[in-house]
Amino acid sequence: MVLKIFFPQCCNRADSGLLVGRWLSGHDSAVVLAVIHYPFIPGQVKQYIQQIQASSGVELSVLGSWSLPKEGQEGMESFLRDLSTIFPQKRWLQINREVGKTGFNCQVLQRDQNGRAIPREIKKKVEKTDGEAGGDGQKKEKKKVKKKKEEKQKEEEEKKEEEKEEEEDEEEKVIFVHYEQRKVMLSQLHPVENGVSDPKTDPPSELRQMFQSVALSQPLYFLDRYDDGPLKSTHWQSEGREASIIVELLKQSTVPLCMLLRWLLSIWTWICNIRIFSLPPLRFLSSKLSTCVQLSYRTEHMRTLSSPKRTTEHTEFMRKANMVVSVLVDMALGMLLMWWLYKDNHISMLANTLVPAADHVAKELEELLQWLMGAPAGLKMNRALDQVLGRFFLYHIHLWISYIHLMSPFIEGILWYGCLSACFGLTFALSLLSDMVALLTFHIYCFYVYGARLYCLKIYGLSSLWRLFRGKKWNVLRQRVDSCSYDLDQLFIGTLLFTVLLFLLPTTALYYLVFTLLRLVVVLFQGVLHLSVDFINSFPLFAVALRITRSYRLAEGVKFRVLCEEPGTALHLMMEINPLKSSTVVQLYRTPTYSCYPKDSWAALVKKLFVGELIYPWRHKTTKTD
Amino acid sequence: MEDETFTDISGKAISLDCQNHSSLCREFVVSVPKVSIGKVMVYTCCVWLLAYAVFFFTENTAVLSSAIFITLVGMMLHIHFVKVDHETLLVIGSLGIQLSSSYASGRETTTFIEIGKIKDIVINEAIYMHQIIYYLCVLLKDPSEPNAVSRVVPLFQSSKPRLNCLMKVYKSCQEILSKC
């Protein structure tokens, strides 16, 4: 069987001592987490390991011994081998390395049932040329020296192997996998598996177990070499613990901030729950206005952010971080917009152009209606119906224009206070704009509804009478067309009505077409606004920034690199983290929103338009997610 | 590390490089011929002649600058996203299999499949119109059913070597996979 040893890069030059780590269950591998140096008291080592095991929950144990003998420390090997009797293990690893050389030797001692140690002396040399050990110039000399030694060793090996071959059938091979401890500790393997794994499925994979052991053994990395304790260990933080003051300050300040947020939210919820606001018409209105929807959405976010529980899980942490960043970016963009609007009197300029613009639109609509009432595009319309519809719509426009004129002195004030809402965020300004557009084009919506209803009625009437004309009927019970024998007077009246409706069709159809197009233009504009609001709401800026700057934190997997080998030696691999693709990051960490998405496909939309059904192309998803 | 003449399924010459790092670890590199300078020159000349012709009729210099811009951007996108330089298969016994594609601009995409998920490596046939194409693929285990295959991951998709090359790689891989 092949034994895999995950060895941290920081321990490559550690002084001799004991290897502390974990054997991975279900796989023939071990993860080395730290090296505890000589001199030590075995009792204290055992106590320390039990302490760390209790606080971290990782099954730590002493894996074996590591020797990098300095001058005057000969004879360590035999001492370290005797240690295997003090720490009873099933397998005892003896890894040694000599100063001035870049080779690793590994011996594995197995315990048989009687507790005797049977050494499997297969010496494997491992060379490293990853730039850490020595300079380039020395390597060539080392290689020459090593080759001679290797030849000698190979001869010895061969002899031993011949002897051993009678005893054991398989050779035990060792693969050293080097990893960078700090990066593996901070990284999160995707797909994220939260909580307890299902005992029915296979045990977690080797890599996942390895990542988990490194990440959960945080208490092991607290002792550094400047501590005056009885034990000295080497790991990635042994040069002294580092931390960022800003991060620590932010962490401390989150508690009072969360309390403040919770208090503000409670006041806001109290205001919202006042009896007046829960009347049905207001409730219906607030569900239609996008500003109110956006407000409730952001309140939900704030509620999640201000919860008193500390986040431990990765997905929850990323979600909260994305929310915070999104809110901050939103506010910053809103402030920018406010600054642009309020300087140089842009608001009064906007207000001054608004009323003339509305007038202009009204005039254009009137001209359009006059055109329709005449002979549009050369088509001859039915005079009476034409005049009725035309005058009806003209009166509507007249009403609307008078309301606009009534409101014109207040417009600047309304705009001024409305733009203040941009301080809550750009999304609020955009939703307010969308609502205002909806209100101002309400008459177009009304015209569209009238035109569509009329047209729809006409089409249904026509189709039903056409069936009568052919002697058929729609069977509601069977949902199909059946033949039917009509009386003579039924047929007579039916045919008459059919011809009337048929000849009135072009007029209604034209009005319907014109107003549907206008409505679609407005809907398109609102759709663009909603899409941009949705984009700002849901885009995971924090996750993308993390992927760009600290790509090792979001890991899709690992990649291996073979470090230079000499033939006949064991395998030496460098394990690096393979980061997630940016598209996967965006897809995975999108904040769920009440997103506006097109409800119908293109074909369904065209069919609806043709039949005359009212279209509401953008549908809001409910904010409740599973 | 032999270098016999292998070709891909359309007849272009490719090269295979096998490295034996240890008895447990082997690396196979299939290299595709690089972008030929002749082709690049032909394409750019065509695009620019067309741009000059349009400029001759419209007298708009924006046409020329946009043609240059489009050529440059197109070339950059091609060597970064489309043109594969070599594909590597690294087999490590009892750890897993690593597939990596290296593009002409130096970008590398890597996937590592753990040994626990691998059922087998096989040569599969695909029938596409009038051709029968052989490809090497990795069969992945289904966690719920022990005998079913959940996914098939094809190897060497851009270089598409022929059967003789695939057989060599297959034999080497099976030697390692059968040991563990």
What pLDDT, in 10s, does the model give residues A495-506? 999 999 998 888
Amino acid A596: pLDDT: 61
Tell me the C-alpha distance between A211 and B5, whole Å. Answer: 43
Q: How confident is the model at residue B86 (pLDDT cuts 50, 70, 90)?
A: very high
> Is residue A119's pLDDT more than 60?
no
Closest residue in A to B26 (Cα) is A562
Token digits of residue A226: 């400047």
Q: Provide the 10 A C-beta neighbour count for residue A554.
A: 26
Q: CA of A203 to nearest chain B CA: how many angstroms apart? A: 10
Q: What is the DSSP string of A188-252?
A: EESS---SPPPSSSPPPPHHHHHHHHHHH-GGGG---TT--SS--EESTTTT-----HHHHHHHH
The three-point CA angle B56-B57-B62 to 5° equals: 70
Amino acid A579: pLDDT: 92
| H or E stretch at A134 | none
Strand, helix or coil for residue A18: strand
Tell me the C-alpha distance between A429 and A417, whole Å. Answer: 11
> Is residue A141's pLDDT more than 50?
no
Residues of A in contact with B98 (CB under 8 A): 559-560
- List the 255-274 stretch of A: residues with Cβ below 8 A of B: none
User: Is the Cβ–Cβ distance between A224 and A239 less than 8 Å?
Assistant: yes
A270 exposed, middle or buried (CB, 10 Å; 0-12, 13-18, 19+)?
A: exposed
For the CA atoms of chain A, what is the radius of gyration? 39
Q: Out of A2, A205, A570, name the one closest to residue B114 (CB).
A: A205
Amino acid A150: pLDDT: 47
Test A560 with B100 for CB contact under 8 angstroms.
Answer: no
**Once rounded to an integer, what is the mean pLDDT over residues A251-267?**
89
- Over residues A507-549, the pLDDT tens digits come to 888 888 888 888 989 989 998 998 899 999 899 999 999 999 9
- Over residues A550-590, the pLDDT tens digits come to 999 999 999 999 887 655 556 788 999 999 999 999 999 98
Q: CA of A571 to nearest chain B CA: how many angstroms apart? A: 6
Test B93 with A2 for CB contact under 8 angstroms.
Answer: yes
Residue length of chain A:
626
Lowest pLDDT segment from A320-324, A531-535, B22-26: B22-26
Amino acid A142: pLDDT: 42
Test A559 with B98 for CB contact under 8 angstroms.
Answer: yes
Dihedral pair phi/psi, residue A220, rounded to 5°: -70, -25
Q: How confident is the model at residue A3 (pLDDT cuts 50, 70, 90)?
A: confident
Percent of chain B's residues with pLDDT above 70: 98
Amino acid B172: pLDDT: 92
Amino acid A130: pLDDT: 35
Q: Tell me the pLDDT of chain A averaged across its residues.
A: 80
- List the 56-95 stretch of A: residues with Cβ below 8 A of B: none
Tell me the C-alpha distance between B180 and B175, whole Å. Answer: 10
Tell me the C-alpha distance between B12 and B84, whole Å. Answer: 14
Counting other chains too, the contacts that A547-550 makes at CB distance below 8 Å and 24 or more residues apart are A547/A579, A547/A580, A547/A582, A547/A585, A550/A186
Lowest pLDDT segment from A101-115, A143-157, A511-525: A143-157
CA separation, residue A314 to residues A192, A557, A576, B80 (Å): 8, 16, 21, 33
User: Is the Cβ–Cβ distance between A298 and A327 less than 8 Å?
Assistant: yes
More confident: A107 or A251: A251
Tell me the C-alpha distance between A231 and A52, whole Å. Answer: 13
pTM attached to this predicted model: 0.80
Amino acid A144: pLDDT: 44
Residues of B in contact with A565 (CB under 8 A): 21-22
Going across the sheet that includes B6-7, the strands are B6-7, B13-20, B25-31, B84-92, B96-103, B108-114
Closest residue in A to B20 (Cα) is A567
Token digits of residue A182: 């700090």
Q: How confident is the model at residue A76 (pLDDT cuts 50, 70, 90)?
A: low
Amino acid A567: pLDDT: 54
Tell me the C-alpha distance between B175 and A549, whole Å. Answer: 42
Test B92 with A202 for CB contact under 8 angstroms.
Answer: no
Counting other chains too, the contacts that A594-600 makes at CB distance below 8 Å and 24 or more residues apart are A594/A293, A594/A297, A594/A620, A594/A621, A594/A622, A594/A623, A595/A534, A595/A538, A595/A621, A596/A527, A596/A530, A596/A531, A596/A534, A596/A620, A597/A621
Torsion A329-A332-A334-A337 (CA) sign: negative
Amino acid A560: pLDDT: 92
More confident: A26 or B75: B75
Query: Which residues are CB-neighbours of A585 under 8 A, at least 6 positions away?
Result: A540, A543, A544, A547, A554
Q: CA of A559 to nearest chain B CA: how many angstroms apart? A: 6
Dihedral pair phi/psi, residue A401, rounded to 5°: -65, -35
A182-214 burial: b if 16+ Cβ within 10 Å, else e: bbbbebbbbeeeeeeeeeeeeebbbbebbbbbb
Q: Token pair 């990782």 is at which residue? A: A58
Among A58, A55, A59, A60, CA closest to A233 = A60
CA separation, residue B51 to residues A51, A132, B39, B44 (Å): 75, 54, 18, 10
Among A177, A248, A181, CA closest to A220 = A181
More confident: A80 or B43: B43
Q: How confident is the model at residue A274 (pLDDT cuts 50, 70, 90)?
A: confident
- Over residues A338-366, the pLDDT tens digits come to 888 888 778 888 888 888 888 888 888 88
More confident: A169 or A234: A234
Amino acid A38: pLDDT: 78
Q: How confident is the model at residue A407 (pLDDT cuts 50, 70, 90)?
A: confident
> Is residue A190's pLDDT more than 80?
yes
User: Is the Cβ–Cβ distance between A42 and A221 less than 8 Å?
Assistant: no
> Is residue A411's pLDDT more than 70?
yes
Token digits of residue A115: 């507790």
Q: How confident is the model at residue B51 (pLDDT cuts 50, 70, 90)?
A: very high
User: Is the Cβ–Cβ distance between A221 and A236 less than 8 Å?
Assistant: yes
Residue of B29, B100, B112, B178 to mutate when probing chain A, most A C-beta within 10 A: B112
Q: Provide the 10 A C-beta neighbour count for residue A299.
A: 14
Amino acid A437: pLDDT: 86
Amino acid A379: pLDDT: 75
> Is residue A147's pLDDT more than 90?
no
More confident: A471 or B69: B69
> Is residue A597's pLDDT more than 70?
no
Residues of B in contact with A558 (CB under 8 A): 112
Amino acid A79: pLDDT: 74
Lowest pLDDT segment from A63-67, A137-141, A198-202, A458-462: A137-141
Residue A110 pairs with which residues in a beta bridge?
A91, A118
Taking the alpha carbons at both ends of chain A, their separation in whole angstroms is 46
Amino acid B97: pLDDT: 94
Tell me the C-alpha distance between B1 and B3, whole Å. Answer: 7
- Write out the residues of chain B at the interface with chain A, using a CB-CB cutoff of 8 A: 20-25, 27, 90, 92-95, 98, 100, 110-112, 114, 116-117, 143, 180
Q: CA of A200 to nearest chain B CA: how many angstroms apart? A: 9
- Over residues B91-149, the pLDDT tens digits come to 998 899 999 999 999 999 999 999 888 999 999 999 999 999 999 999 999 888 878 88
Test B95 with A177 for CB contact under 8 angstroms.
Answer: yes
Query: Which residues are CB-neighbours of A117 under 8 A, at least 6 positions away?
Result: A84, A85, A92, A109, A110, A111
Percent of chain B's residues with pLDDT above 90: 68
Q: Out of B27, B112, B116, name the one closest to residue A578 (CB).
A: B112
**Once rounded to an integer, what is the mean pLDDT over residues A386-392?**
85
Token digits of residue B135: 């490809």
Q: How many CA atoms lie within 13 A of A126 on its CB side?
A: 27
Q: Token pair 């598409």 is at which residue? A: B160
> Is residue A313's pLDDT more than 80?
yes
Dihedral pair phi/psi, residue B59, rounded to 5°: 55, 35
Residue length of chain B:
180
Token digits of residue A268: 């806001």
Amino acid A388: pLDDT: 86
Among A34, A13, A39, CA closest to A22 = A34
